[in-house]
Amino acid sequence: MKVAIKTVLFLCTGNYYRSRFAEELFNARAPDIIPDWRAASRALAIEMGSSNRGPISLHALAGLAERNIFPLEPYRNPLQCTEDDLDLADHIVALQKSEHLPLLAQRFPHMSDCVEYWNVQDIGQETPEQALGEITRNVEILIDRLSQAASSPS
């Protein structure tokens, strides 16, 4: 019997730093615990990331390397979120509620109540060490929650 793969969709403003780190971290840590889950990530306002250089933040790459994680797609450019991305996701996480709830409400108003919101600040408001540490803790909690939900009787 083939198991259907479920998707966690991580959202941030530019799909360059926070959501990309969360996606790669989840995909590195989840397979041993919840093998039927994978992560993807998208931008809610890719045009706001015009100052981003390269396909992924050097801070995200450094944080992943510190955790002995080597990105599966380090050269993939940031991707804008579409209606299909949201519809196909089984669980959606926006990385910063005060920043991303307004973007979701404006661009995808029917989805803003269907999203789990974290409170991870962008560079400039929080150091990469703080932000990536917080994302790491939240991803581990999410993996544990999804694992518990999968093992509990329906």
For the chain, the average pLDDT equals 93
| pLDDT tens digits, one per residue of 69-79 | 998 877 889 99
Report the pLDDT value the prediction gives residue 154, as an integer from 0 to 100: 56
pTM of the complete model beyond 0.75? yes
Does residue 60 lie in a domain region? Answer: yes
99-128: burial string, b at 16+ Cβ within 10 Å, e else? bbbebbeeebeebbeebebbebbbeeebeb
Domain that includes residue 84, residue range: 6-151
For residue 79, give the CATH number of its domain. 3.40.50.2300
Does residue 13 lie in a domain region? Answer: yes
* Dist. CA 98–CA 118, nearest whole Å: 9
Query: Into how many domains does the chain fold?
Result: 1
Does residue 84 lie in a domain region? Answer: yes
Does residue 63 lie in a domain region? Answer: yes
| Structure token digits, residue 18 | 């926070």
| pLDDT tens digits, one per residue of 96-152 | 999 999 999 999 999 988 999 999 999 889 999 999 999 999 999 999 999 998 877
Does residue 89 lie in a domain region? Answer: yes
Report the pLDDT value the prediction gives residue 121, as an integer from 0 to 100: 95
Does residue 1 lie in a domain region? Answer: no
Question: Is there a contact between 14 and 43 (Cβ–Cβ < 8 Å)?
Answer: yes
Question: Is there a contact between 118 and 4 (Cβ–Cβ < 8 Å)?
Answer: no
Report the pLDDT value the prediction gives residue 153, as an integer from 0 to 100: 67
Residues 6+ apart with CB under 8 A from 99: 13, 122
* Dist. CA 154–CA 151, nearest whole Å: 9
Helices 18-29 and 58-66: angle between axes, nearest 10 degrees = 30
User: 8-12, 49-53, 54-58, 67-71: lowest mean pLDDT where?
Assistant: 49-53
